[in-house]
Amino acid sequence: MDYVITHCAPNSIVDILGNGGYVHDHLTGFLEEVKERAKFHYWLFGHYHDNKIIDDRFVLLWEQMVQVV
């Protein structure tokens, strides 16, 4: 798939963002499984109130808009 678009991020990305400030939960754990199993080009997510490119596939969006189609 080309894009995964979610509100929260997988556990491993939460760890990068939060420096211990965000906790893992059932949803972020499930998203970690999706991250490990799915083949995708980009993962867009919000929730963490910032605009930041995490790496070559994960992008945190808050006040920013991107065209995906």
Q: Which domain holds residue 35?
A: 3-60
Residue 66 lies in a domain: no
Number of compact structural domains in the chain: 1
- Is residue 68, in this structure, part of any structural domain at all? no
Q: Is residue 23 part of a domain?
A: yes
Neighbouring residues of 39: CB distance < 8 A, sequence distance ≥ 6: 1
Mean pLDDT of the chain: 94
Q: How confident is the model at residue 65 (pLDDT cuts 50, 70, 90)?
A: confident
HEC assignment per residue over the chain: CCEEEECCCCHHHHHHHHCCCCCCCHHHHHHHHHHHHCCCCEEEECCCCCCEECCCCEEECCCCCCCCC
Average pLDDT over residues 38-67: 94
Question: Would 42 be classed as within a structural domain?
Answer: yes
**pLDDT (0 to 100) of residue 53:** 96
In a domain, 67, yes or no: no
Express each pLDDT in 7-38 by its tens digit.
Answer: 999 999 999 998 778 889 999 999 999 999 99
